[in-house]
Amino acid sequence: MLIRELTPTECADVLQRTILGRLACTRDGYPYVVPVHFSFDVERACVYGFSAVGQKVHWMRANPRVCLEVEEVTNKDQWRTVLIFGRYEEIQESPEEAEARQRALDRFRQRPEWWLPAGATVESRHPEAAVVYRIQIERVTGRQAMRRTLPETPGINRQRD
C-alpha cells in the first residue's frame, strides 16, 4: 500500500465533497469524539456547524481548541482522510455577525434535512437552544492510501500491498 500526503487543494476538495465528520474536543483531560454534520467555506477558511446545546457545546465552550476528521473510504486499500485543527466560535444572532450567520445558513441549505440531527429532539433531554458555530481552521493535513501494483511482467500478474 502506498500512503501519501494530500496537498492543501486536495484537502479542500475532500472537505467540499463531505458533510459528515468526527469532531474531537477535550475537557478536564478527557477526550470526546462525536459525529457532526458540517459545511466547508473555503473562502473563510472555516467549517460551519449547527448543534443543540449539550455536552459537545459545553465542552467546546470550556476549551475551544478542536479537531475535525473527515474521510472518504472506497475500501481498506483506497481512502482519503483530512484533519482540521482549529478553534470553535459560536456565531451570535447580532448585527456584527449577520453576514457570517447568513453564509452558514446558505451552506446548510444546500444539504437536504440540514437541521438534523441538531434540530431533532431526544426524549431524554431538553436542549436549551441550538447554536450555529464555526471552526476557524488553523491547520489542515490529509493523507491518501492507494494499492500499489507492480509493473506487469509477461506471463506474471503480481500485486504488492
104 vs 44, residue with greater confidence:
44
Model pLDDT for residues 116-156, shown as the tens digit of each residue:
555 554 444 444 578 899 999 999 999 999 987 756 656 65
Prediction pTM value: 0.80
For 15-32, what is the mean pLDDT?
95
| Tens-digit pLDDT profile for residues 62-113 | 999 999 999 999 999 999 999 999 999 999 888 888 888 778 888 877 776 6
Cell of 153: 511482467
Can you list the domains of the chain with their CATH numbers? Answer: 2-146 (2.30.110.10)
pLDDT at 107: 80
- The predicted pLDDT at position 124 comes to 41
More confident residue, 60 or 115: 60
Q: What span, in angstroms and rounded, lies between the C-alpha atoms of 78 and 67? A: 23
